[in-house]
Chains A and B, each alone.
Chain A
Amino acid sequence: KAGVTQTPRYLIKTRGQQVTLSCSPISGHRSVSWYQQTPGQGLQFLFEYFSETQRNKGNFPGRFSGRQFSNSRSEMNVSTLELGDSALYLCASSLETGQGQPQHFGDGTRLSIL
């Protein structure tokens, strides 16, 4: 069974640009969550999507947004990029939402802002 697939693996952008990251969950998984990982802050929850609806949201500015498609694939968008947005962005999928469902992570997209 294929794992969580994230594309692209690496991205380099400049301040002010916008970026879209993609995540394909494990087949059959309907919940997709996004996390940001930095050396200083560690892993922080961005948001979760289930059935094309945002179910939970972390404490990030509105520049961070996402969506989920009917096939459960998800995209995350960051607008007006700032230097502090440089991070590893991780996507995790689980079968369902709620009840502490185990989440399985992809290898992430490493975003560098110049």
Chain B
Amino acid sequence: QKEVEQDPGPLSVPEGAIVSLNCTYSNSAFQYFMWYRQYSRKGPELLMYTYSSGNKEDGRFTAQVDKSSKYISLFIRDSQPSDSATYLCAPTRGAQKLVFGQGTRLTINP
């Protein structure tokens, strides 16, 4: 069993929709949770960074962590075609070793 499970998609939604991206993890020692966005032929770009359980909002993006169920979510409101990318969840215990999910490929259709 992988430490981090993420549905690879692809996920296709119309412009303006609310997008929900999710990961589950097995290691209860994970304390820091990051979401990255990766465009084709580019490196991952840090979107959100949260510590422990709870919600964090940044513009149209909301990250949610539920440590009791080992469930991580990223919500995108008012989705735009420019949000089309691969989204990667990456928890860590505190060392600089990120454990990435497989990534979900998202397409926003105009």
Contacts and interface: CB of A to CB of B under 8 A. Distances in A.
B103 A99 contact: no
Contacts of A102: 34, 46, 49
Range of interface residues on chain A? Answer: 20 to 34
Interface stretch (B67-75, B77-85, B89-97): B89-97
Contact of A56 (B44, B51, B90, B97): B97
Interface stretch (A12-20, A42-50, A75-83): A42-50
A101 interface: yes
Interface in A92-114: 92, 94, 97-108
B95 A56 contact: yes
Contacts of A33: 96-98
Question: Interface size bucket, B side?
Answer: 20 to 34
Nearest to A33: B96
A31 B96 CA distance: 8
A107 B43 contact: yes
Nearest to A39: B102
A28 interface: no
A18 B44 CA distance: 26
B61 interface: no
A100 B33 CA distance: 8
Contact of B44 (A55, A58, A99, A105): A105
B39 to A, nearest CB: 10
A21 interface: no
A22 B41 CA distance: 18
A92 B92 CA distance: 14
A87 interface: no
A100 B44 contact: no
Given A42-B100, A92-B98, A100-B49, 14 more contacts: A42-B101, A42-B102, A50-B96, A97-B95, A99-B32, A100-B31, A102-B34, A102-B46, A105-B36, A105-B43, A105-B44, A105-B45, A105-B46, A108-B43
Interface of A: 4, 31, 33, 35, 42-45, 48, 50, 55-56, 58, 90, 92, 94, 97-108
Interface of B: 31-32, 34, 36, 41-46, 49, 51, 88, 90, 92-103
